[in-house]
Amino acid sequence: MNMATRTVRKTELKIPLQTSAATSRGGDRQLQLLEIACRLFSERGFNGTSLRDIAEEAKVTKAALYYHFPNKEALFAKIVLESLEALLNRVRESCAQVDSPEDKVRVFMLTTADNYQQNREAWIASSNAFRTHEESESKAKALELRDQYEKLLRGFIQEGIRAGHFRAVDPSMAGRVLLASINSMSRWHKPQGKLSASGVVEQFVDIVLGGLRHH
């Protein structure tokens, strides 16, 4: 087990969707509604799920749902923005614990894979909502967070190129290749399969880093 893998395991944590009053009855209800919304969005897509569907699944009235989330824009903001913020903060913290560009790339990817593994429904729900949601202030903020996240990975690759560890490739292209291993995972990876999401990504990272290194 290398230093990068140890770093990820040492910093593992569950990243729940945050509520403003998680210990109160209202906070518990909001969390329940978010969990149901995540599941339905992951199964049916953002546009294929209505507020009525969520209310029926939660066995609450539409008025009770509207009290917490008056529209799907509010759900988008809660699920997508908080998921992206949590992921960005976590990869920053994890990558700050290692020094070499290669270890930073590895920790970035393994931390992302671990986040996917722990929050699979929220990840898929966020991806569905992100792709199909109309332009809005919340989506603009989500795009900004996504760009910060991807820029961080590109920066580590560029750092490796400048240091002579990696070949002179296009950092944006290399970053897209790496992230494709996770972005496509929901379409084929079985959570209870032989390899965990982190195991799949670790092998993929080994392959890509092998191609990036100077030989």
> Is the CA virtual torsion 176, 179, 183, 187 positive or negative?
positive
**Domain extents for the chain?**
3-13+72-212
Q: DSSP secondary-structure letter at 152?
A: H
d(CA 192, CA 196): 7
Place of tokens 């992100």: 130
> For residue 115, what pLDDT is reported?
94
Classified by CATH at the fold level, domain 3-13+72-212 comes out as: Tetracycline Repressor; domain 2 (1.10.357)
Q: Classify 166 as helix, strand or coil.
A: strand
- Backbone torsions φ then ψ of 150, nearest 5 degrees: -70, -35
d(CA 102, CA 144): 25
Rounded to the nearest angstrom, the gap between the alpha carbon of residue 62 and the centroid of all alpha carbons in its chain is: 29
> For residue 9, what pLDDT is reported?
45
> For residue 94, what pLDDT is reported?
97
d(CA 83, CA 115): 9
**What are 198-206's contacts with CB under 8 Å, separation 24+?**
198/8, 198/110, 198/113, 198/114, 198/117, 200/113, 201/109, 201/110, 201/112, 201/113, 202/5, 202/106, 202/109, 202/110, 202/113, 204/109, 204/178, 205/105, 205/106, 205/109, 205/110, 205/178, 205/181
pLDDT tens for the chain, 215 residues: list them. 555 555 554 433 333 444 343 434 557 889 999 999 999 988 888 888 999 999 999 999 999 999 999 998 898 888 889 899 999 999 999 999 999 999 999 999 999 999 999 988 888 888 877 787 788 888 889 899 999 999 999 999 999 999 999 999 999 999 999 999 898 888 888 888 888 999 999 999 999 999 998 76
> For residue 89, what pLDDT is reported?
97
| Residue whose C-alpha is closest to residue 51's, from 77, 35, 28, 33 | 33
